[in-house]
Amino acid sequence: MEQLNKKLNKIMVVGKNYEMPFSKGILARSLTAIGMKPTQSYKLASEIESILKKEGITSILMDDLRTRVYYHLLTKNYDTIAEKYLLWRNILKKHPIIILIGGASGVGTSTIAFELASRLGIPSVMGTDSIREVIRRSISKDLVPVLYNSSYDAWKSLRLPVENFGCDKHIIGFERHIEPVLIGIEGIIDRSLTEGSSIIIEGTHIVPGIMSEKYSLMPNIITIVLTLSSEEMHKQRFSARAKVSARPMERYIDNFKIIRKINDYIVENAKYQNTPVIENISISDSVNNVLEIISDRFESIENMDNE
Ligand X SMILES: O=C(O)[C@@H](COP(=O)(O)O)OP(=O)(O)O
Ligand Y SMILES: Nc1ncnc2c1ncn2[C@@H]1O[C@H](COP(=O)(O)OP(=O)(O)O)[C@@H](O)[C@H]1O
Residues at the contact surface with ligand Y, assessed by CB under 6 A = 103, 105-111, 237, 240-241, 280-283, 286
Give 58 or 128: the residue with its C-beta nearer to ligand Y.
Answer: 128
Under DSSP, is residue 8 helix (H, G, I), strand (E, B) or coil?
helix
Instruction: Name which of ligand X, ligand Y, none residue 180 binds, using a CB cut-off of 5 to 8 Å depending on partner kind.
Output: none
Using the contact rule CB under 6 A, the part of the chain among 57-65, 69-77, 149-157, 277-285 near ligand X is 149-157
- Please report how close the Cβ of residue 171 comes to ligand Y at its closest, in angstroms: 18
Q: How far is CA 244 from CA 207, 219, 237, 238, 280, in A?
A: 27, 36, 11, 10, 19
Which 116-135 positions form the footprint of ligand X (CB under 6 A)? 129
Pure H helices in 56-167 = 62-75, 79-94, 109-120, 128-138
Interface residues for ligand X in 247-266 (CB under 6 A)? none
Considering the complex, what minimum distance in angstroms separates the CB of residue 95 from ligand X?
28
Q: Which is nearer to ligand Y, 220 or 280 (CB)?
A: 280
CB atoms within 10 A of CB 300: 11
CA distance 215 to 102: 15
Residue span binding ligand X (CB under 6 A) among the ranges 65-73, 89-97, 150-158, 206-214: 150-158
Q: What is the β-pairing status of strands 221-227 and 277-279?
A: parallel
Output 109 or 275, the one with its CB closest to ligand Y.
109
> Which of ligand Y, ligand X, none binds 282 (CB below 5-8 Å, type-dependent)?
ligand Y
Q: Does 30 bind ligand X (CB under 6 A)?
A: no
Which partner in ligand Y, ligand X, none is near 150 (CB below 5 to 8 A by kind)? ligand X
180 binds ligand X (CB under 6 A): no
Contacts of 66 (CB under 8 A, 6+ apart): 85, 86, 89
Q: Supply the minimum distance, in Å, between the C-beta of residue 68 and ligand X.
A: 40
C-beta of 145 vs 219, nearer to ligand X: 145
- Rounded Cα gap, residues 109 and 234, in angstroms: 12
Quote the CA–CA distance of 253 and 152 in Å, as a whole number: 11
Q: Where do runs of H (alpha helix) occur along the chain?
A: 2-8, 24-32, 38-54, 62-75, 79-94, 109-120, 128-138, 169-195, 213-216, 231-244, 249-254, 256-272, 283-296, 298-303
- Judged by CB under 6 A, does residue 152 bind ligand X? yes
By the rule CB under 6 A, 227 interacts with ligand X = no
The entry of ligand Y, ligand X, none near residue 107 (CB within 5 to 8 angstroms by kind) is ligand Y
Which of 32, 41, 58, 151 is in the footprint of ligand X by CB under 6 A? Answer: 151
Residue of the chain from 173, 184, 203, 208 that contacts ligand X (CB under 6 A):
203
Characterize 10-28 residue by residue with b for buried, 16 or more Cβ atoms within 10 angstroms of its Cβ, and e for exposed. Answer: ebebeeeeeeeebebeebb
C-alpha angle with apex 288: 274 to 41, nearest 5 degrees? 155
* Cβ–Cβ under 8 Å, residues 113 and 200: yes
Q: In the bound complex, which residue of the shown chain has the CB atom lying closest to ligand Y?
A: 108
β pairing state of 277-279 and 59-61: unpaired
Residue 151, binding choice from ligand Y, ligand X, none, Cβ under 5 to 8 Å by partner class: ligand X
Closer to ligand X at the Cβ: 30 or 109? 109
Q: How far is the CB of 275 from ligand X (least distance, A)?
A: 18
Q: How far is the CB of 208 from ligand X (least distance, A)?
A: 16
